[in-house]
Structure 1
Amino acid sequence: MINHEEGEMEKEERFPAEDYAAEALAADMDPWVIFDARKTPRAEFEDWLDTNRPSRVCRYGDPDRNTEPVGWIAVYGWNHIPDTGDVDALQDDWEGLQSSGREVSFETIKELALNHRVLTGKWLMHLDTGFKVDHAWRGIAQSVLDGRIAEAKVSPHIPDLNSKHVICVYNRDFTNVQEVINLDTAIRATGVKCQLSYKPDVYTYLGIYRNNRWRLCPTIYESRFDLECIPRRSRIINKITNNEVT
């Protein structure tokens, strides 16, 4: 007699990271609201910024106003970062890494990123809706327009009591520590004092978010603004080595 309970294949465990990855992919695929400084006159920036405040743009659109869902609100500077890596090849090699029996670690993922030139990364900040996110986004967006930051994006409002916005501010090369530090400095110069976390884009392309099956932390740096230090500055910790970055 067959024991069906024993004969059934165990279902593969699902991790929260997979849901986060699906949500992020859906946002990427929905229309974006973009101000591109290379194509749009600077004189239109203030009206664009005011019309598209993140606290007032709904992620899922507004049927009453006949508006579509919005994935992201973004500003591209004149030094906008081009897409130079081979993401398809990266993802193919990622499948090979998982089936090879090799350890999945920061170092093996960094190796994939270097091989396929997928080197961009971003500082992340999570902010409450309303004045906090609108004020922080205005400073970041203005810095992009002025050429101090290459590009940035912010998530629109999700009508949920516990929902926060995320602002992502990008640089070209996550392996260039000085470049990562300089971007933190540029962000702090806009007046942002909240905690920041830095995530290489390779983790995003591979669907590696928090609470993933490999128990990897997808952010590799953490920045805390030190109000007691004179002169005031960020304290950046390398989360891989647990050492402060100088």
Structure 2
Amino acid sequence: AGSKESSVEDKVETPFSAEAYAAEAMAADMDPWIVFDSRRTPRNEFDGWLESNRPSQVCRFGDEEGGVSRVGWIAVLGPSHCPSSNDVMGLQESWEKLLASGRSVTFQTVKELALNHGVLTGKWLMHLDSGFKLDHAWECVARAALEGKISVVKVSPFNPATEVKQVICAYNQNFTDESEVIRLDSVIRATGVKCPLSYKPDVYTYLGIYRNNRWKLCPTIYESKFDLECVPRRSHIINKVTNLEVT
């Protein structure tokens, strides 16, 4: 029986298990970030900063021999950005209690935890192949943050060890406010970004709920596809919890 159990566990722990995604995300958060803080840095330095930190050219692992450190994220903080005062420790304690209680884990139970602990931020995600399109999309949303239209944006640096796409994240304050989520989508679209977007609450990130998680929760709660056919052009946004279009 022991060998059977371990072989089942091996299957669960594929390289792309939720735990693996969570570990990679945590490692990126812990490594140094390259940040343009528009609350402190003069705007006339932005173009040079953008040029010298193109995400397709910045390597996740740096260059130890060349004295270049590892890079977790590249980020732009908007002029009105203020760090959210959330109780992540309390959230994680409540989560452990929930799991120990054997209660079923659903979107609603996770949302309750998020509301109780004030962990309400979320982000639209853009997954793009490394290269010109990624750098261009990043420049578009980074400028929107500089102009105060988005509170904070970040992009993952190039990772030569994986063939995975790079991701751009654009944040808002409250994932439970659907109108706020839709408004952020329209800000992103207005910059010229046309790729599909998916929206993920930060509570899922803090609790390690990624793709292929054991609760079978979809870690993204909205999806946005840009419609090039209709006039005026607009996004079709689907709420993944209800499977209804919300636009």
**TM over 0.5, yes or no?**
yes
SS of residue in 1 equivalent to 2:36:
strand
Quote the RMSD (CA, aligned, Å). 1.4
Aligned to 2:231: 230
Which stretch shifts more, 91-100 or 79-88?
79-88
Letter in 2 for 1:85: N
2:109 aligned with 1:108: yes
Correspondence for 2:77: 76
Q: State the SS of the aligned residue for 1:102.
A: coil
- Choose 112-121 or 153-162, whichever is displaced more: 153-162
Structure 1 Cα separation of the partners of residues 60 and 68 of structure 2: 10
In the TM superposition, 1:169-188 aligns within 5 A as 169-188=170-189
**Aligned pair in 2 of structure 1 residues 48, 7: CA closer, same or farther (>3 Å)?**
closer
CA distance in 1, matches of 2:215, 2:101: 15
1:210: which partner in 2? 211
Equivalent residue, structure 2, for 1:162: 163
C-alpha distance in 2 between matches for 1:193 and 1:8: 49
- Matched with 1:3 is none
Structure with higher Rg: it is: 1
Mapping for residues 1-246 of structure 1, pairs under 5 Å: 6=1, 10-11=5-6, 13-14=12-13, 16-160=17-161, 162-246=163-247
Which residue identity lines up with residue 37 of structure 2 in the other structure?
D
Paired with 1:44 and 1:119, the residues of 2 have a C-alpha distance of: 32
- Decide whether aligned partners of structure 1 residues 9 and 86 sit closer, same or farther in structure 2, where only a CA change above 3 A counts: farther
Cα gap change, 1:8 to 1:134, in 2 (>3 Å):
closer
In structure 2, how many angstroms separate the alpha carbons of the residues matched to 1:64 and 1:50?
A: 23
What is the identity percentage for the equivalent residue pairs of Structure 1 and Structure 2? Answer: 66
CA contact (8 A) 1:81 1:151 kept: no
What letter matches 1:56 in structure 2? Q
Q: Read off the aligned partner of 2:53 and give its amino acid letter.
A: N
Tell me the distance in 2 between the aligned counterparts of 1:10 and 1:135.
48
**Alignment TM-score, normalising by the size of structure 1:** 0.94
Q: Which moved more, 1:10-19 or 1:118-127?
A: 10-19
What is the SS of the residue equivalent to 1:217?
coil
Pairwise CA distance, 1:63: 2.9
Judge conservation of contact 1:62–1:68 (CA < 8 Å) in 2.
Answer: yes
Q: Secondary structure at the match of 2:55?
A: coil
Does the 8 A contact of 1:144 with 1:150 survive in 2?
yes
User: Secondary structure in 2 aligned to 1:65?
Assistant: coil
1:113 Cα deviation from its structure 2 partner: 0.1
Give yes or no for contact 1:81–1:172 (8 Å, CA) kept in 2.
no
Gaps of 5+ in 2: none
Question: SS of the counterpart of 1:209?
Answer: coil
Q: Which amino acid aligns with 1:14?
A: E
How much does 1:161 deviate?
A: 6.4
